Amino acid sequence: MGFASLDELLADGVSGRRVLVRSDLNVPLDGDVPNLRVTDDGRIRASLPVLEKLTQAGASVIVLAHLGRPKGAPEEKYSLKPAVDRLAELADFNVTLAGDVTGDSAREHAAGLVGGEVLVLENVRFDARETSKDDAARGLFADELAQLAGPDGAYVDDAFGAVHRKHASVYDIAHRLPAYQGDLVKAEVDVLQRLTKEPERPFVVVLGGSKVSDKLAVIENLIGTADRLLIGGGMVFTFLAAQGHSVGSSLLEKDQLDTVRGYLARAAEAGTEIVLPTDIVVAEKFAPDAAHETVTAERMETTRFGDSGIGLDIGPDSGALFAEQISSARTVFWNGPMGVFEFDAFAAGTRAVAQALAEATASGALTVVGGGDSAAAVRALGFDEASFGHISTGGGASLEYLEGKELPGLTALQR
CA distance 33 to 403: 38
What is residue 404's DSSP assignment? Answer: T
User: Exposed (0-12), middle (13-18) or buried (19+): which is 405, by Cβ within 10 Å?
Assistant: middle
Distance CA 209, CA 130 (A): 29
- Contacts of residue 344, defined as CB under 8 A and 6 or more positions apart, other chains included, come to 288
Catalytic choice (211, 285, 330, 405):
211
Contact 44, 90 (CB under 8 A): yes
* 404 tagged catalytic: no
372 assigned binding-site residue: yes
Q: Which long-range contacts (CB under 8 A, 24 or more apart) does 253-259 make?
A: 253/211, 253/212, 253/213, 256/212, 256/213, 256/216, 259/212, 259/216
Q: What angle do CA 292, 295, 301 make, to 5 degrees?
A: 85
Q: Is 60 annotated as a binding residue?
A: no
Does the annotation list 107 as a binding residue?
no
Q: Taking a C-beta distance cutoff of 8 angstroms, is the pair 226, 203 a contact?
A: yes
* Helices 348-362, 316-327: crossing angle, 10 deg rounding: 20
For residue 60, how many other CB atoms are within 10 A of its CB? 24
Is 112 considered catalytic here?
Answer: no
* Cα 117–Cα 12–Cα 163 angle in degrees, nearest 5: 70
Residue 215 annotated in ligand binding: yes
CA dist., res. 342 & res. 380, Å (int): 8
228 is in an annotated binding site: no
**Pair 282, 305: CB distance under 8 Å:** yes
Marked catalytic residue, from 17, 18, 43, 53 = 43
Residue 371 annotated as lining a ligand binding site? yes
Q: Is 129 annotated as a binding residue?
A: no
Is 402 annotated in a binding site? The answer is no
Q: Is 25 annotated as a binding residue?
A: yes
Catalytic site includes residue 396 = yes
The answer on whether 301 is annotated among ligand-binding residues is no
Whether residue 209 is annotated as binding a ligand: the answer is no
209 is catalytic: no
Of the residues 372, 389, 394, 395, only one is catalytic, namely 372
In three-state secondary structure terms, 412 is coil
Is 413 a known ligand-binding residue?
no
- Biggest distance spanned by C-alpha atoms of the chain: 70
Cβ atoms of 342 and 307 within 8 Å: the answer is no
Distances (CA, A) of 288 to 340, 344, 379: 9, 7, 19
DSSP 172-232: GGGGTS-EEE-HHHHHHHHHHHHHHSS--SSEEEEE-SS-GGGTHHHHHHHBTTBSEEEE-
Residue 24 known to bind ligand: yes
Do residues 196 and 173 touch, judged by C-beta distance below 8 A? Answer: no
Question: Which member of 161, 233, 396, 409 is catalytic?
Answer: 396
Binding site for ATP, by residue number, is: 215, 311, 342, 371-374
- The residues that are catalytic are 43, 211, 372, 396
Binding site for substrate, by residue number, is: 24-26, 43, 66-69, 125, 165
Binding site for (2R)-3-phosphoglycerate, by residue number, is: 43, 125, 165
Binding site, by residue number, is: 24-26, 43, 66-69, 125, 165, 215, 311, 342, 371-374
